[in-house]
């Protein structure tokens, strides 16, 4: 099985319970203090409440994720895969392995247990899994390229995201990402749009702390996707859609969650969906987390990447001069205006105009984006009007068909009534003829009787 990046530790160092290398010196107290500072916000009693005030809820929303995303979670959890052989999860080793990990540090769990829960994507690619070419792992790396929602910047024990190489040059321009700058779409160096995080705890640290850390990390990851959809004017792409997952675990406890945004008027709210709480030390659930992660990489990663590419396709390229605005001409005019207003500072104005070029290009890009959003809204409105007209025409057509059908039915009933009346008259005429015949027969019989009586009398 693959091993995490704890091997980056330098010589003459030991591992802390967070998996980071620290020198064997009096700096130990400083490292412990730094860890305590980073985790203080997560330990606060009101941390969950503070997250809720910022639109992040560690629970499902009343509506929940879309039904097909709930079905996706079930597939990721149960879709069969080939499980590794020759690991410490084998029947002959698992009990001793479990016993050996009791009361051990987070670093020990990260090195020995975690790869059986969430194997390295990069190592799998090295072994031939081509679908993970553009995926990068992060082990205990601070997310320095983004802004936290509350408290310290996230530092997941393990995280997955997309590499720089997954985007074309045009897409990078649209995202405005640079390797040396912060971005709403960047977590850490060469990790963009994270989709899976994991936190490991041990000892007296509750899984609740790991859940809080995962919630913070994944809300930042979802915020990136939502921000991109807002820029493209297609937030419906991600409304109630699961956009990422997390795993919280200690030695004996394991929790898997999915995360999704919901849009309420002008607000974006983030929610968590519980998927499973398996017990990896039972035969039934031994490979549940591992299977889930493999299926996330195999199925959800493609969904995640395709969604980003589809949304990026709707974002205008800053270099496309669709508005016909000549940025250099605007700069020249600003330079002239600046020099006219301040004759003594002609050179400074020119320098300032050159410094404004990125800002002007950003303004042009913003205007293009606004026009694209306006066009999208107009097209959507026209589509709604056309759909309404189609429905109206269909209603009128249905009404006319119903009226014609009623008219035909009425005529049929009238014809049927006339037929019944004619039949009744025919029966009455036939009855009258029978009565007349009967009367004639009776009259004839009477005459015969009278004649017989007369003859008998004679």
55 contacts: CB under 8 Å, gap ≥ 6? 267, 268, 269, 270
Q: How do residues 244-294 score in pLDDT, each as one tens digit?
A: 999 999 999 999 999 999 999 889 999 999 999 999 999 999 999 999 999
Which helix (H) or strand (E) segment holds residue 193: the answer is strand 191-200
Average the pLDDT over 327-350 and give the result: 43
**What is the C-alpha separation between 22 and 18, in angstroms, rounded?**
10
Q: How confident is the model at residue 366 (pLDDT cuts 50, 70, 90)?
A: low
The residue ranges of every structural domain in the chain are 5-312, 327-397
> Which segments of 210-337 are extended strands (E)?
244-249, 254-264, 267-276
User: What contacts 416, CB < 8 A, 6 or more positions away?
Assistant: none
Share of the chain above pLDDT 70, in %: 80
More confident residue, 27 or 433: 433
Both tokens assigned to 314: 């709707």
**Contact call for residues 274 and 132 (beta carbons, < 8 A):** no
CB neighbours of residue 347 within 10 Å: 9
Q: What is the largest CA-CA distance in the chain?
A: 167
Cα angle for residues 121, 19, 26 (degrees, 5° grid): 155
Contact 272, 258 (CB under 8 A): yes
Lowest mean pLDDT among 68-77, 179-188, 261-270: 179-188
* φ and ψ of 372, to 5 deg: -65, -40
367 or 341, which is more confident?
367
Structure tokens, 245? 């997952």
For 305-357, the DSSP string reads HHHHHHHHTTSPPTT--TT---HHHHHHHHHHHHHHH-GGGHHHHHHHHHHHH
Residues paired with residue 19 on neighbouring β-strands, in sequence order: none
Report how far residue 81's alpha carbon sits from residue 114's, in angstroms, rounded to the nearest whole number: 18
For residue 38, the model assigns a pLDDT of 62
> What mean pLDDT is predicted for residues 15-34?
40
Output the DSSP codes for 95-164. Answer: HHHHHHTTT--HHHIIIIIGGGTS--HHHHHHTT-GGGTTEEEESS---TTS--SSSSPP--SEEEEE-G
Per-residue confidence (pLDDT) for residue 303, from 0 to 100: 97
Output the average pLDDT for the chain: 83
- 8 A C-beta contact, residue 246 and residue 217: yes
The stretch 346-366 carries a mean pLDDT of 45
Burial class (CB in 10 A: 0-12, 13-18, 19+), 438: exposed
Residue with tokens 């997310």: 143
- In total, the chain counts a number of residues equal to 458
Lookup: tokens for 223: 């915020």
CA 58 to chain centre: 17
Average pLDDT over residues 211-235: 95
Q: Are strands 158-162 and 135-138 parallel, antiparallel or unpaired?
A: antiparallel
Q: Which residue has the higher pLDDT, 65 or 352?
A: 65
């Amino acid at each position: 099985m693959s091993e995490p990046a704890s091997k980056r530790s330098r010589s003459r160092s030991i591992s802390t319970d967070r998996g980071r290398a620290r020198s064997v010196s009096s700096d130990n107290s400083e490292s412990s203090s730094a860890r305590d500072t980073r985790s203080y916000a997560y330990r606060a009693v009101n941390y969950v409440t503070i997250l809720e005030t910022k639109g992040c809820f560690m629970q499902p929303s009343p509506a929940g994720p879309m039904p097909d995303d709930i079905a996706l979670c079930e597939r990721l959890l149960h879709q069969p895969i080939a499980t590794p052989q020759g690991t410490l999860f084998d029947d002959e080793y698992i009990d001793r392995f479990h016993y050996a990990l009791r009361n051990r540090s987070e670093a020990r769990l990260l090195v020995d247990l975690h790869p059986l829960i969430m194997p390295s994507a990069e190592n799998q690619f090295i072994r031939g899994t081509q679908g993970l070419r553009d995926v990068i792992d992060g082990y205990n790396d601070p997310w320095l390229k983004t802004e936290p929602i509350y408290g310290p910047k996230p530092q997941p024990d393990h995280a997955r995201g997309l590499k720089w190489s997954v985007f074309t040059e045009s897409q990078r321009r649209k995202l405005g990402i640079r390797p040396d700058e912060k971005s709403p779409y960047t977590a850490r160096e060469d990790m963009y749009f994270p989709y899976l995080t994991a936190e490991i705890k041990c000892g007296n640290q509750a899984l609740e702390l790991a859940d809080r850390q995962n919630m913070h990390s994944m809300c930042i990851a979802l915020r990136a996707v939502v921000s991109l959809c807002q820029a493209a004017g297609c937030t419906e792409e991600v409304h109630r859609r699961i956009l990422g997952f997390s795993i919280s675990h200690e030695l004996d406890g394991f929790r898997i969650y999915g995360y999704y945004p919901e849009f309420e008027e002008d607000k974006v709210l983030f929610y968590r969906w519980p998927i499973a709480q398996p017990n990896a030390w039972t035969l039934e659930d031994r490979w549940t987390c591992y299977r889930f992660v493999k299926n996330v990489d195999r199925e959800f990663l493609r969904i995640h990447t395709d969604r980003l590419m589809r949304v990026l396709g709707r974002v205008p390229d800053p270099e496309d001069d669709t508005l016909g605005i000549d940025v250099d001409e605007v700069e020249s005019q600003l330079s002239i205006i600046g020099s006219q207003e301040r004759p003594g500072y002609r050179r400074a104005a020119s320098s300032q105009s050159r410094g404004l070029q990125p800002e002007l290009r950003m303004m042009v890009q913003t205007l293009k984006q606004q026009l694209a959003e306006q066009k999208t809204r107009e097209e959507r409105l026209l589509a709604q009007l056309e759909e309404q007209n189609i429905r109206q025409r269909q209603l009128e057509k249905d009404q006319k068909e119903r009226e014609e059908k009623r008219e035909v039915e009425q005529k049929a009933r009238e014809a049927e009534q006339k037929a019944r009346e004619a039949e009744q008259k025919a029966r009455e005429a036939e009855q009258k003829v029978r009565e007349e015949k009967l009367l004639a027969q009776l009259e004839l019989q009477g005459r015969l009787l009278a004649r017989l009586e007369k003859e008998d009398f004679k």
